Amino acid sequence: MKRPRIVITGIGGLCGLGTDAPAIWDAMRAGRSAIGPLTNGELHELKIRIGAEIKQLPEHGIDRKQLVSMDRFSLLAVIAAKEALRQSGLVVNENNTHRVGTIVGVGVCGWEAIEENYRAILLEGRNRAAIFTVPKVMPGAAAGQVSMNLGLRGPVFGVTSACSSSNHAFATAMDQLLLGRADAIVAGGTDAPLVWGVIKGWEALRVVAPDTCRPFSADRQGLVLGEGAGMVVLETYDHAVARGATILAELAGTGMSGDASDIVAPTVEGPTSAMRACLADAGLAPEDVDYINAHGTGTKANDQIETAAIRRVFGAHADKLSVSSTKSMHAHCLGASGALEMIACVNAVREGIVPPTANYRDADADCDLDVTPNVAKKRDVRVAISNGFAFGGTNAVVAVKAV
């Protein structure tokens, strides 16, 4: 029996590039980078003082009584989810609330609240933590807050797998829909890592660039951190058609794998396996793919290994692919990265435009794909895949197809 199709009917997001999905896509298409000096005055005594931050949040209409129980990563998720649901035109009411859920991927959870409490107790001498500390910092908080703000009573939970969290959320949402546990799910990812302790930890790993992110460029020096959230409304094709929804794209398949090797060093085999599994799940041949939104962090090892994995999977067709890393523009937003990259993939198949890899300067013989340097490219994009490869060797790849 042919399985149901899963489609995307709404998309929302905010990050350093913009405070809604259209603004983010406009910036991606123009090759604008949001990476620059951080303005947070609490980030003292850090070697790394650059990132991609949201300078000002948009008007969101969330009641102050709700805000006091929300860390920044949850707030970003709610704002993005509201936008996605609004675009989808899906009205949630007592008749369907139990058939609509949310799954939100998170990489580092509520560090803003953690640091506020450290300062209060260790530096200011207070004798107790803030009352909402636990519900603020728990990794599943974003999913719970989205559920409460949108009135979703279907499957509601969070997933966490570092930098592939968003893609795992998409994959899990697709499974829930295929199993018939919901008719629609608001899925994506969020993270707000631009706080002192998180940046200090990344400094220690010695993988953060001092100036900007230059994926695949020979002179790249590492990744750059950013904050943001992205959410999409996923639903079965039949459900979307029955309510007269505008279908943006199809989530054609997903693939997952584990490296089972090293907590931080990637392998070629894990990403290769995840990409092959995604193509098989989507019923696609390698030659069907036009664009790859690469994991593309800008570290020496990641970019070379991802290039090698793409060549293993796609063979001679690798030279016909368009590849780019939008992390060169929105930076590495950890658990939110895959959701922001979904904005790129959906719009690539809708508009026939491949967003560029910004900040690119010098060719690297070990990264010899068409990485769309600096300037967007017009081409027919029927199928795009998005790669997510994370610390712990947790890999997740999703395929988006034009409708």
The total of structural domains in the chain comes to 2
Gyration radius of the chain over CA positions:
20
pLDDT band at 61 (very low <50, low <70, confident <90, very high): very high
Residue 396 predicted with pLDDT over 90? yes
Q: Identify the active-site residue in 109, 332, 333, 367.
A: 332
Q: Identify the active-site residue in 109, 295, 333, 345.
A: 295
Q: Which amino acid is at 76?
A: L
- What is the predicted pLDDT for the residue at 152? 98
247 in any annotated domain: no
Q: Identify the active-site residue in 163, 213, 333, 345.
A: 163
Using one digit for the tens of pLDDT, what is the confidence trace for 230-286?
A: 999 999 999 999 999 999 999 999 999 999 999 999 999 999 999 999 999 999 999
Q: Is the CB of residue 186 less than 8 Å from the CB of residue 175?
A: no
CATH assignment of the domain containing 366: 3.40.47.10
1 in any annotated domain: no
- What is the predicted pLDDT for the residue at 386? 98
Q: What angle do CA 143, 258, 182 make, to 5 degrees?
A: 35
**Domain end point (choices 242, 266, 296):** 242
Within this chain, do residues 102 and 69 fall inside the same structural domain, yes or no?
A: yes
Within this chain, do residues 95 and 31 fall inside the same structural domain, yes or no?
A: yes
- As a whole number, mean pLDDT of residues 39-45 equals 82
Query: Catalytic annotation on 295?
Result: yes
Residue 327 predicted with pLDDT over 80? yes
Query: Catalytic annotation on 330?
Result: no
Please enumerate in sequence order all residues whose Cβ is within 8 A of that of 48, keeping only pairs 6 or more positions apart, or say none. Answer: 199, 202, 203, 208, 210, 225
Using one digit for the tens of pLDDT, what is the confidence trace for 192-231?
A: 999 999 999 999 999 999 999 999 999 999 999 999 999 9
- What is the predicted pLDDT for the residue at 82? 98
Within this chain, do residues 193 and 110 fall inside the same structural domain, yes or no?
A: yes
- As a whole number, mean pLDDT of residues 357-371 equals 98
Q: What angle do CA 355, 285, 293 make, to 5 degrees?
A: 20
Query: Catalytic annotation on 60?
Result: no
d(CA 254, CA 256): 7
Domain ranges, residue 15: 6-242
Mean residue pLDDT of the chain comes to 97
Within this chain, do residues 21 and 104 fall inside the same structural domain, yes or no?
A: yes
